[in-house]
Amino acid sequence: MLRALELAAQGQGRVEPNPMVGCVIVSDRQVVGQGYHTAFGQPHAEVEALCQAGTAARGATMYVTLEPCCHQGKTPPCTKAIIEHGIRRVVIAAGDPYQQVDGGGIDQLQSAAVEVCSPVLEEDARELNAPYFKLVETGRPWVIAKWAMTLDGKIAARTGHSQWISSQPSRQIVHRLRGRMDAIVVGRGT
- The catalytic site residues sit at 46
DSSP H/E element including 30: strand 30-36
Rounded Cα gap, residues 150 and 126, in angstroms: 32
Residue 121 sits at the vertex; the CA angle it makes with 117 and 123, to the nearest 5 degrees, is 125
Helix (H, G, I), strand (E, B) or coil at 118: coil
Angle CA 108–10–43, to nearest 5:
40
Q: Which residues contact 116 (CB under 8 A, 6 or more apart)?
A: 89, 90, 91, 92, 106, 109, 110
Closest CA to 9 of 27, 28, 26, 23: 23
